[in-house]
Structures are given as C-alpha cells and as structure tokens.
A and B are shown apart, each in its own frame.
Chain A
Amino acid sequence: MLQLVDVYKIYHVGDEEVRALDGVSLAVGAGEFLGIVGPSGSGKSTLMHILGCLDTADFGTYYLDGRPVEFYSESQLATVRNEQIGFVFQSFNLIGHMTIAENVELPLLYRGTKASERRELVHEALSQVGLWERRSHRPNSVSGGQLQRAAIARAIVTRPSLLLGDEPTGNLDSRTGHEIMELFCELNARGRTIVLITHDQSIAKRTNRVVHIRDGKVVA
C-alpha cells in the first residue's frame, strides 16, 4: 500500500540543523490500521505530512500504491491528496463560513464531480458518520465530536485508499475521543487503510499495529 524507504526531512533553524525525520523506513499494507506513537517533537507530524503528500522528503523515497511520489509536480501531489488520501486533523480544519455538507463536498468540487453524484456521495459519507441531520449547520453550531465526524466524512467522501489521522482525538474529551475511535475501527473493519498519529497509548492500543517514533527515528 505505502512504503517509506530511508526518508529524511531536515530543517535549518538558524545555524542549527534539525533532523525531523532521520532515516525513517516504514511499510503499511492494504487494510492495515497503524498507530504511530511518539512524544511531541519526535517528528511524527512531519512523517504524517509526508505520508499525506502535504510535504515532500528531502532524501529517501515514498512509494504510494507502488509509485514513488518524489518526482510528482505540485499539481500532481494535489491530485494525489484529492483522490488517494483522506486527512483528519487534530483541529478539525473545517471552513467556518460553509455548512457541514459544503465542507464535506469540497474535495469533490476540486475533483470535478457532477452535482448529482456529489449529493449522493455527501449523503453517503455524512450518513456513515451519523451527521446527515446536521448537514446544514455551520461548524460553530455543533460540538467538537460532531466537528471531527464532519472532518472524517470529508476525508472519506472521495473513497480514498488511505485515511490519515493527525491526533484526531487530541481536542476531544475522552468519551467523545473513544466514539471517534469507534468510527475509525468501523471504517477499518470495512477495509479502509488507516494511519493514526497519537501520543495517547490508550488510543494506540485500539489499532492493529503500533510504531514508536523518537527523535526522527522509528524505535520499535
């Protein structure tokens, strides 16, 4: 499904060199539910950005569905993000002046999907996360858990092969967090490949496999 081979990401802060990723190799199979666990500053967010094609590695190769993405142009990366990857962020990242349905519809608009098909897909995604009744609400009028459900609906509306979660329960209370994890498990049970980043061991326990990362290196 996806494979990282000896990936480096190096930042320069003043004269200091920060190796956010220091030779990471990782493979995720189709249908897997992987948890990446590490303390803050361990490089797990950087890893997530590279996996999500929001950023590119300085060295090393990232194969997505068997194809190396390092030679992709900015526009091709945008297409990959749109068609193959669904992103769920810690801070939900919904657009405030749009309704929940419009937020969920957004990736389909950039894909050029027809209006009738868009309606169908939005209905399907919102129904899956149990938010169809709230479709015409704006993000500021629903709860945190519902926001994250909306964000998940937006991530799965394009039926991507890979679902990425960057601390998706980080801004939620533990009960709501568990509900969201239920949802992820459910989606995984339906065959979706999921990679979750977390620093919460109890969340990580619910995944199939856990990878620990520290100082830009995979430690276990």
Chain B
Amino acid sequence: MLAQSVRTALAAIGANKMRAFLTMLGIIIGVTALVVLVSLVSSATRAVTDEISSLGNDLLSVTIRDDKGKPLKSADLAQIAQDSTSISLIAPVSTSSATAKQGTSTYSLTLTGTTNAYFWIMGSELAEGRFLLDADLKNNTSVLVLSYETADEIYGRTDVVGLELALDGVKYLIIGVLAEEEGLMTSMGDNYTAYVPYTVLERATSAASGGGASGMSGAGGGASSGASGITSFYAAAKEADNIDLAEAELTASLLGLLKGDEDAFSIRNNNSLSETMASVTDTFALLLGAIAGISLLVGGIGIMNIMLVSVTERTREIGIRKAVGAKRLAITLQFLIEALVICLIGCALGIVFSGIILGVVNLTVGADSSTTYSFSPEVVIVAVGFSTFIGVAFGLYPANKAARMHPIDALRFE
C-alpha cells in the first residue's frame, strides 16, 4: 500500500516533470542555502575555536597595570603557584623587538623573554635542540630559541643549533628551534619570534632605557618602567575544567599582592574567549539558518499550491479510487506521500548541490587557507527533517481536501 503510494507519487511527478521541478526548486534553493551557509559558518567556527583552544583552554593571561610600587618578582609568581591548588605553572612574559643581522640582511624579530614554564604552558614542541632552562635564567646566558618560521626565514633551514645570531649587536647562541606551527593564527601574520631567558631580556631592556646604549626598544615588556618587575605572565590550570577555579585563586592572590585593587590587573581567560567566539558564531549560524528556513517555508507554500492544483486535476481519479473502495486515509496518504516525495527529492537535490558548492569553495577559497569547508552532518539532518516537516505540513491540507471529496461529485467532475 505504502510502496504503491510512493510509486503513484513518482508516476504523478514524472507525468509533470517541469512543474514538479519548478515546485521542487523552492525546496532545492532553501536546502542548498541552509546546508551551504550553516556548513560554511560552522567550518569557519570550528577553525577559529580550534585555534583558540590550541592556544590552551587551560590558559590564563595576566597583565599587571599598576604594581603599587612593589614590583612583582619571580618569587611572587612561584608563591602564587605554590599557594594555589589548581594552577600548575606560571611563566612571566615580556616582549620586545630587536633587529637580527645575518650576512647582509636584517630581520625584525619579536623577542619574548620567558622561562621554561612557557614551553609547557603553550604546549610547544621542538624541532631542534632544547628550550630555555632554569640555569639559563640563573646565569643570564645569552641564548635564544627560534620559532620554526624565524629560523627558516633567516637561515633557510632549521638545523641551526650551535650557531650564533646577533641581535642589536649582541651575540646570542641558538639552543633550539620550535616545531612548525600550523593554524589560522600563524598563517595570518609573519611570526618571527625568538625566545630568550626572561632575565636576559629584562636586563637588556633596562640597560636600554637606562643607558640608551643599546638599540633595543622596550615595548610593554617586563621592564618598561625601568624598575624590574613582572607586568605580564601566563598561568596554566592543572586541568582545563579547573580554569575557573584557577582564575578565582589567581585573582585572590593578586588582590592580596596589589592591595585589593581590582583595576590594577586583568586576567584573560582563553576559555571565555572561545565561549564568546562560539556564541557569536552560533548566533550567526542561527541567523543564516533562519533565513534559509524562510526560503524553505516559501518552497513549502509552492508545494501546497501545486498539490491543490494536482488534487483538482485528479478529482475524477479520486472519484474512481473511492468508487472501487479507497477510504479517506488511503487518499490522504496518497497525496501526502506525493507532497513528501517532492520535498524529499528537492531536499536530496539541494544536498547534492550543496556538496558541489562546498567543493568549489574548497577548491577556490579554501585552497590557500587551512580551513576545509565540510558538510556539517547536523545541518544535513536538520535539512531532511525540515523538508519532511514542510512536506507533511503543506501537503496535509490538499491531501485532506482530496480525501473529503464525495465520490459522486468527484466522478462527475469534468
């Protein structure tokens, strides 16, 4: 019975191919819009949130604005980490810029002064050599670790451990090269970074601002005030789930150190950043989905229209079917299934079109970015569900109209 209804529906659609296709077009466009837009947004979202979480979901980034005349020392950070139950590592960070000279070329580098903890907090990996060790800080040794891109840019290779690089005239020994990073952020800007011991950078910048002999320019770094004190550091929670507790503990410790002044420091939580990001893109996806939904709705009205025409055209057929014993339910099902079949064929075509469009997007736009735009399976399910709903919702009235016909009136219809 059901199989017969589907066959009848297909036959009826086949008898009016052009009309059926035009009716389907509304659904095809609606489904294509829904699937493509939502897939694009969610793929982009995934790329961005992956990027953010690759920076560490367990990461707190702290900036001290006002140290109340009591500069923060490494020992203070160690104390904070020790007092806390949820913070595993703290790494002070200061940044500065420097010019590297290699042969006849010069390169502008971002110098990050930090400690060994930075390596673990950031989840970095080494391509060559080692990262900064505590001994490097204690001894103020002029060593540096290059990022993969930096080594590649300056030397054209990465096996450069043991070579010396001159930064603003001071020679540094290269002890390590970080592994290549893949991701949206790194591909977005040039990222020529070198890591030096925190103490070394601190001394160099204070010498620069004090004596002015060196060309190094302190920029928001650990020692821009001249007096040495930590103004920026990263803290990692022991577990990503503990990030909010870690933030609370860190806040408490800093309030203690900074005389209870909430405005003297700020803590940025990567978790909340990715949450914000996700909620923004979710809203965006919902909005685009709603627009696509409206076009599906319009498609549904088109289906209702054509089904009403079909019912009128086939009034006599309905009369014949009733005369040979079709009950209301059978007639209702027949036309409902026809509406549903139109919707689902439209939906299938729409999904196929979406696949083609996403493929083209990947080949053109996606080729030079690391983001791949793929179907999100949820949206395909939503599209099929929505098409089914529309087929039933807009097919019900015409089907019911057909089922309620009086057999005699239907048979007499010309």
Contacts and interface: CB of A to CB of B under 8 A. Distances in A.
Given A95-B317, A97-B15, A54 B325 contact: no
Interface in B283-326: 316-317, 319-326
A110 B316 CA distance: 17
A106 B15 contact: no
Interface residues of A, number: 26
Contact of A95 (B320, B327, B328, B330): B320
A93 B323 CA distance: 10
Q: What's the dominant secondary structure at chain B's contact region?
A: helix
Interface in B4-21: 4, 11-12, 15
Given A54-B408, A81-B325, A95-B320, A110 B12 contact: no
A142 interface: no
Contacts of A182: none
Contacts, number: 60
Given A49-B408, A54-B407, A109-B4, A78 B320 contact: no
A78 B403 CA distance: 12
A137 B376 CA distance: 48
B411 interface: yes
A81 B324 contact: yes
A158 B323 CA distance: 13
B1 A79 contact: no
A49 B349 CA distance: 46
Interface in B216-257: none
Contacts of A78: 322, 325-328
A55 interface: yes
Interface in A37-61: 49, 52, 54-55
B392 to A, nearest CB: 22
Contacts of A94: 320
A87 interface: yes
Given A55-B408, A93-B411, A110 B323 contact: no
Contacts of A83: 325
Interface string A64-82: 0000000000110011011
A87 B323 CA distance: 8
A107 interface: yes
B324 A75 contact: no
A154 interface: yes
A82 B408 contact: no
Nearest to A107: B324
Contacts of A93: 316, 319-320, 323, 411
A74 B198 CA distance: 91
Contact of A97 (B11, B319, B324, B330): B11
A176 to B, nearest CB: 22
A13 B326 CA distance: 30
B324 A106 contact: yes
10 contacts: A78-B325, A78-B327, A82-B325, A97-B11, A106-B324, A110-B321, A110-B326, A111-B325, A112-B1, A158-B325
Interface of B: 1, 4, 11-12, 15, 316-317, 319-328, 330, 407-408, 411
Given A75-B328, A97-B15, A107-B324, 15 more contacts: A49-B408, A52-B323, A55-B408, A78-B326, A81-B322, A81-B324, A82-B324, A87-B324, A93-B323, A93-B411, A95-B317, A95-B321, A97-B11, A106-B324, A110-B325
Top 6 closest pairs, chain A to chain B, by CB? A82-B325, A107-B324, A110-B325, A78-B327, A81-B325, A54-B407
